[in-house]
Structure 1
């Protein structure tokens, strides 16, 4: 039999394999052997033992079944670069009489000199692979430090040179937005179904599976190149289109490149079973610990990306079959703790700030809703909030706030990973919150009512507010007031309205 292999056929025109085939067939003819089968692994590396070589595996199975008793290959390293695999063929030669011939020179595995030559060739080939791998890794790291787009398969939304592909970028932005939607966030499964066309989500259109799209692009580029060079082109099987998987959606949400962060993961990196840490380990950082920024345009902002990581890292996140991660609390992440000033989180029965506040939520939400509705009933409700403008300055404020929030999120994760100390986390958090307060005040002065038209623009804003979605009600509350929850007084039963402090925002 004949075994043919090439590690990477960039042209994919089959000519390199055909040259090997012709040389091997001539050698078999000189030996007087009949070729019973030809096994071909095109663009398959023999260096990585974890990678499958389908025809090599089929050849091994056929030999064990007695289908042939001689092998012809172009060179020994075309057959294998793995010493363990080589030992198997040595045993086959010694104990079962296998004959092995190569175009580059005879390989006699039945005597000491032949074994020595074969062993040397295998080790030399492996050493060259190691050297090449080190050179490539260093080049990749250098590209990453410079913020240049990495080589390899392009991610959804980006061309291989880092340019944004806008129609795909729209889908990426929609995935991030829908996954972090406050009132009804989509799950990985629901997003995958929408992309596959088996479910409908407003704002996210079905599209071909990304691997299929890339496969079509590469096939088209190879065919055009062959036509330009007047070469015969052999069509290759494309990766089939099919349904999107939740794991592919997860890969998009986890990719730091979408936030404009340069990435590099050494081949020696070990996840040690912690997938959450592995994603953060991809982010390349400079000498002061800040992420290296890529030379490409980000598709999502830093805050959105880090917020997604916060959601994905939450061990209590709902990941059931229905994919329901609906926010159930009006004030979760909106109301503030009356002790430390931080935003409270939703608890099974209400709101909590660890060690400070634990409050039942239903009475608080009803009280806040009625107070806000009463405020909206006043004629000056709209006048109290100036109209938001989409100006360069307003966008700059939003981007600055996003960067500050993202910096605090990164600091929290660095603290969790024991990269920084608690005092460093506090310093970064305090500085960030102070700066955000300043920016929020400036944004408020320039207007925030633009997104509240569904409520404030109606004939009865109070009624519209009560009937609005959770997202809209939260936005109205956040626009009009700052809500602070005080600890429940010991021994006191029932709801005390004075334990909920409502401070009205002003222009």
Structure 2
């Protein structure tokens, strides 16, 4: 029997037709957070839904569309699933000639139209048409709608919805779809503006937001947690006195102290908590760094929200530590990740620190387990240079156990020498340029007031602002360096030797101390000599200290 997809869809008879389903949700962030919280609470994901958040709306769309098609004699051969995809938000795209255009990015939707044009589903079966719950799920962008119209008109493969009102094959139907899409697009724009105004108001008033509670505060995000807050304050005091963030995270994991979501701590997560302006009582705002070519978010960071006068906006919650202590903390842990601060999965102490010292090779050494033929003790290994085929020279090999022990003593001795130097030195002078920083900020506030009053032009205002902000950044950098020096930034406790030699430090903690002591350790070749002590072959390169 011959089939005519367009005619059959007009009559509602889908007998013998193969359809694909397009389901889509614009934003699934809330449900994803809910599922993570459920997982942390040990709730079985297959259990009967207890709230609306437990229901996957995309599954509901698929169920409704499948019933519609199958009840009319058709069959479903594929599902195009667009999870967490906006049909409205446009992203920047850089053209080959360097120009920029803005388009809605929907790879799944585009793939569906290509398959419809070819008449073949991804599984190889014939594809006669597509169904979506309604026009709103198909598109909210008129450019995308025109692509759908072209596919239907030129390839005679219909796109229908559950209401039966979607008709892209006739001029009247196309016109109706264009009008509805334009209204939906305007509706999305209006919603975006309302949401934006709401969030600005929340920020301005210092009202806490967010999907889950921050570590250290209770569920209301305002009151300090009776157990976690003291832990966090103690950790801050320890870090200000020289303890590594990674050491704190490892200690909390050993003691069974989980994150606010019930997970294990990593240094990067703990530093994110410590860097959050909420610690000092400031209202924060998240800034997204996007790829200039495609608009994709590369990273996010949290900064302090400022009011019109350039002053920090205070949040409506109990602060964890004073602003002065938070400034000192940021000066020590920095505003960006540093080498050795992350969750290091390497299983040997010196991997990533040792480098080949033969000629100008400088290749990082790797740990190599001794084979049975070497007749070495269980667990014995060497640090070796990569072969020439792998980018090294293959000319350096050193006993792993002896190297780790030598590096331990090198690090301990270096920290002890630094501690002695600090004790012998005079108390560092306080920062002397606080007045200059205050004047710069007063100039910025005055310029903003003059601009609002119409006394200076926009060109003059922004030119002056760029210079003032540059001066403020330079002064703050110098101030933080002075604070860091005043805090001494002692990277180790006084019991380091006892802790390390006594086996009280985890490998992660040992690696942090080593990597903060030395940026690299050069391993010299033996040049054919026998019996050269391992520690004589090691040349440490001290890490630069801010």
Structure in which a larger fraction of residues adopt strand? 2
TM-score by length of 1: 0.49
TM-score by length of 2: 0.46
